[in-house]
Structure 1
Amino acid sequence: MYYYIFGKVIFMSEAKKTVGIYTLGCKVNQYESEAIGELFAARGYEILPADELCDVYIINTCTVTAESDRKARQVVRRAITRNPDAFVLVTGCLAQTAAETLARIEGVDFVCGNTEKCAVVDAAERLLASGCKNVHAEVRVASLEGAPFEPMRIQKFDRTRAYVKIEDGCESHCTYCIIPKARGAIRSKKPSDVLDEVRALTENGCREIVLTGIETASYGRDLDGYALIDLLEEVDRISGIGRVRLGSLDPSLMKPKFLERLASLSSLAPHFHLSMQSGSDRILNLMKRKYNTAMALESIERLREALPRVMLTTDMIVGFPTETEEDFLETLAFAKRAEFLMIHVFPFSGRRGTPAAAMSGQVPMEVRRERAARLASLEASIRRDILDREIRERPVCEVLFETCKNGYAIGHTDHFIEVTVKTNRDLHARTASVRFLTTDGNTIEGEEI
């Protein structure tokens, strides 16, 4: 077997070379890793779990918090320790913002940023052809200014649910967030490319599509007269389409006409992620968010009127600089009123180069952690109440099953409630009617009808 690369014929041994891809962070990273994996597979490589012995390791990093940075470095070092002879290539958001730091880790061969993630494939083949690890890592990180949308697509997905990246970049420049520096300006994928990709996944048996991006709600802002709702309507018309889930929504989008069109979509799952970050107007203003709590609650009320079964999830940062106990209590009160099914709680993590990291009034870490625990406790209580209500008021629901193990099938309703059913039947990738029986506060246990 051989490949023609960069003007040279490269021969490979008959035994397939192996690649392990480790993904940290968001759904966009998961999509991009899947696309990179398909490129390797198309060239004859075997994709293995990243914790196995591989010839090549790709680490797709995240930098949203200091903990994300620490974990990324840890994963890189573990790959090097697992197989010191393997070629180690690092990409993603930490690679974009701190390439030299990663390049200095002994054993790293190649670092590239977010403008050309797929470069890891050709780089890996060059390294394999040479047979020698780099003494000093090759670094390829370009400026994000004016960067186009990097062409990527997937045709299959190992799980029942497939992510499709429709947008990259963010221009909100919230004071706590480093992601605009890691991802650049908003770039939308061409509608025709999105539709082709969703159509192919549907034809290949994918039962649920999640449209995702760095700032998904901004899709189309750089397109002429074409908005997110236009794309959703076209996706909805694809023959054989299953569930379509939208990665996130912004309160500023939820105007009456938008919600009217949203409610008319037959394939759309009634579950949305609202990235609130705080329930205190003073803190939201310091964060430079685009809304206050009154606007958000009004948007949530409109959304629930348009889609009565809708479930909402959110992110919350606690311990933002100068946050007082009163501010935090406002966040707790907001969370109760909004009734989020899940709240991803983050103690504030100052990111170097962001305005929030340099603000006075930094909240002690022990206070941040204590507030995070209190909000997580409230979240658990709210979720328990929601699940109990679902069992009482909507005891039968359609569930798409994703995994089967140890005598249980596990899946999700369209509004993103996790359901387990005791069964020896293989329900993977199947939809079944389930009668809800009981809950442990996290999932609902039911029986197949």
Structure 2
Amino acid sequence: MAYKNKTVGIYTLGCKVNQYESEAISEELERRGFSIVSPACVCDAYVINTCTVTAESDRKARQFIRRAIGKNANAAVVVTGCMAQISADEIAAIEGVDAVVGNADKMSCAEIIERLFANGKNEKTEIFITDIKSSPFEKMRIGHFDRTRAYVKIEDGCESRCTYCIIPDARGGIRSKPVEDVISEVTALTRGGCREIVLTGIETGSYGKDLGGIDLADLLCRIDKIEGIGRVRLGSLDPSLIKEDFVKRIAELESLAPHFHLSLQSGSNRILALMKRKYNARQAMAAIELLRKYIPNVKFTTDIIVGFPQESEENFGETVEFVKAAGFLTAHIFPYSKRKGTPAAIMQGQISKDEKSRRLHLLEAVEADVRRGILEAEIERGNVKDVLFETFSDGVAVGHTADFLEVHVPSSRPLHAEIYPIRFISTDGNVLFGEIA
């Protein structure tokens, strides 16, 4: 416990997988005696867990690295994550960075920080990058998270090779966490009082492909049998993986939240083909209709890229119409971003920044109209739904229903990790306002 007075702040950028991995790093640091504090504090050490999905992600990563160094020039600074895996030399060139750690070695961050405290800051940045393509699933688990919701990483890597995406180079091929390890981790979190488990991965729907004889539905069935299990929510799914047999099996599970995040990317057949996605617009809509057929009150969220190379006004219009027809509760909409080394980066017909911005704002307005319609329908039907509360501020408790509706309720006290039936009264178009029924 020599480090009990040493503080570490962890900046986390990007996806739920990164959030899970940051928590695992945090717990390992705590086991070694360090105190984990907000990265906004002046800390003795910083870990920056980066994302590289877009150029903006890289910019934010550099910003956070420099912010950490600016807070304490003598702090130990370790940078890990997807940008570290892809652009190690670029990060190492930033003065003040002590170590750059790839995705296959994240759990070594605590040991590296220990060594930096023992020996002092490095004169030259150390780089720890393993060939991600030949790396096994890195063993990590979490013992505690927020009591409301915990992320559990069940899979890493992607083999899709979409033309715009650099993540397969940052994360490697599909590697699944062994079933018994997942069950053990989820059981421990449930016994610790966690009310919702979010299963996450880079390509979650591909879970088990490398294990043989098991798939995501099998895993969900096992988790559903855990004593005391609360809600189980799935991370992002590729529409091509949603088949009738899969949907029939998971529709029977009491624990599974009726909310699916589908990584659509575009509603245009032509653009989906240029992206090398594994489905067309008709197949993506069929997946949505299949889930609606078997799972009552199901809600959908999605990711969409606008301004992909060669996207015509007609192609963009097809995406707009798809968003309306699908009825997405929310859509994470991004302007296309060139990633060095990807086929899309050198495609003809690159769209201007101004045009990408125009399409982004137009689609955001459509998304907002769709969401308002969904929320108003909940009120008109007089729905009462269980809400798991997460935060409390200024006399208002905030939580989510199983189908991922955000609900605000006036309260005289925090309702953290409690579940109450809530009657919906009004909406501002983004969230629902209600009262305990």
CA distance in 2, matches of 1:442, 1:177: 30
The match for 2:32 is 43
The match for 1:22 is 11
The match for 1:312 is 300
**Alignment: residue pair count:** 437
User: Is 1:418 aligned to 2:406, yes or no?
Assistant: yes
The match for 1:366 is 354
The match for 2:325 is 337
What is the CA deviation profile of residues 259-291 of structure 1, one whole-angstrom value per residue up to 9, with x for unaligned ones? 111110000000010000001000000000000
CA distance in 1, matches of 2:147, 2:314: 44
Question: Of residues 275, 289, 295 in structure 2, which corresponds to 1:287?
Answer: 275
Q: How does 1:58-207 map to 2 (within 5 A)?
A: 58-130=47-119, 132-158=120-146, 160-207=148-195
What is the CA deviation profile of residues 93-137 of structure 1, one whole-angstrom value per residue up to 9, with x for unaligned ones? 00000001001100000001001101111000000011x211111
The match for 1:444 is 432
The match for 1:324 is 312
User: Is 1:31 aligned to 2:40, yes or no?
Assistant: no
- Counterpart of 1:369 in structure 2: which amino acid? S
Aligned partner of residue 31 in structure 1, secondary structure: helix
TM, length-normalised to structure 1: 0.96
CA distance in 2, matches of 1:49, 1:376: 32
What is the CA deviation profile of residues 376-399 of structure 1, one whole-angstrom value per residue up to 9, with x for unaligned ones? 010000000000001112521100
CA distance in 1, matches of 2:385, 2:232: 17
CA distance in 1, matches of 2:214, 2:167: 25
- Counterpart of 1:359 in structure 2: which amino acid? M
Per the TM alignment, residue 223 of structure 1 is displaced from its structure 2 partner at its CA by 1.0
The match for 2:337 is 349
Q: How does 1:268-279 map to 2 (within 5 A)?
A: 268-279=256-267
**Equivalent residues of 2:423, 2:436 under 8 A apart:** yes
Which blocks of at least 5 consecutive residues in structure 2 are unaligned?
A: none
What is the CA deviation profile of residues 326-366 of structure 1, one whole-angstrom value per residue up to 9, with x for unaligned ones? 11001001111111000100000010000000101101110
The match for 2:286 is 298
User: Is 1:232 aligned to 2:237, yes or no?
Assistant: no
CA distance in 2, matches of 1:79, 1:141: 22
CA distance in 2, matches of 1:327, 1:253: 24
CA distance in 1, matches of 2:412, 2:7: 34
**Equivalent residues of 2:165, 2:339 under 8 A apart:** yes
**Equivalent residues of 2:231, 2:256 under 8 A apart:** yes
What is the CA deviation profile of residues 129-169 of structure 1, one whole-angstrom value per residue up to 9, with x for unaligned ones? 11x21111100101112210000000110351100000000
- Counterpart of 1:194 in structure 2: which amino acid? V
CA distance in 1, matches of 2:297, 2:393: 29
Task: Percent identity, please.
Answer: 59
Per the TM alignment, residue 253 of structure 1 is displaced from its structure 2 partner at its CA by 2.4
CA distance in 1, matches of 2:241, 2:95: 47
User: Is 1:266 aligned to 2:254, yes or no?
Assistant: yes
Aligned partner of residue 53 in structure 1, secondary structure: coil
**What's the Cα RMSD here?**
0.9
CA distance in 2, matches of 1:394, 1:203: 35
The match for 2:200 is 212
CA distance in 1, matches of 2:319, 2:243: 24
Aligned partner of residue 330 in structure 1, secondary structure: helix
**Equivalent residues of 2:158, 2:203 under 8 A apart:** yes
- Counterpart of 2:108 in structure 1: which amino acid? A
- Counterpart of 2:297 in structure 1: which amino acid? R
Per the TM alignment, residue 424 of structure 1 is displaced from its structure 2 partner at its CA by 0.8
CA distance in 1, matches of 2:159, 2:398: 38
Aligned partner of residue 171 in structure 1, secondary structure: coil
Per the TM alignment, residue 250 of structure 1 is displaced from its structure 2 partner at its CA by 2.3
- Counterpart of 1:340 in structure 2: which amino acid? F
- Counterpart of 1:80 in structure 2: which amino acid? I
After the TM superposition, which segments of 4 or more aligned residues of structure 1 sit over 6 Å from their partners?
none
Which blocks of at least 5 consecutive residues in structure 1 are unaligned?
A: 2-11
CA distance in 1, matches of 2:242, 2:344: 28
- Counterpart of 1:349 in structure 2: which amino acid? S
CA distance in 2, matches of 1:360, 1:47: 48
- Counterpart of 1:178 in structure 2: which amino acid? I
Per the TM alignment, residue 187 of structure 1 is displaced from its structure 2 partner at its CA by 0.2
CA distance in 2, matches of 1:57, 1:283: 41
- Counterpart of 1:68 in structure 2: which amino acid? S
What is the CA deviation profile of residues 393-415 of structure 1, one whole-angstrom value per residue up to 9, with x for unaligned ones? 25211000001111010000000
CA distance in 2, matches of 1:436, 1:202: 29
User: Is 1:402 aligned to 2:396, yes or no?
Assistant: no
CA distance in 1, matches of 2:183, 2:296: 28
Aligned partner of residue 357 in structure 1, secondary structure: helix
- Counterpart of 1:406 in structure 2: which amino acid? D
CA distance in 2, matches of 1:80, 1:419: 39
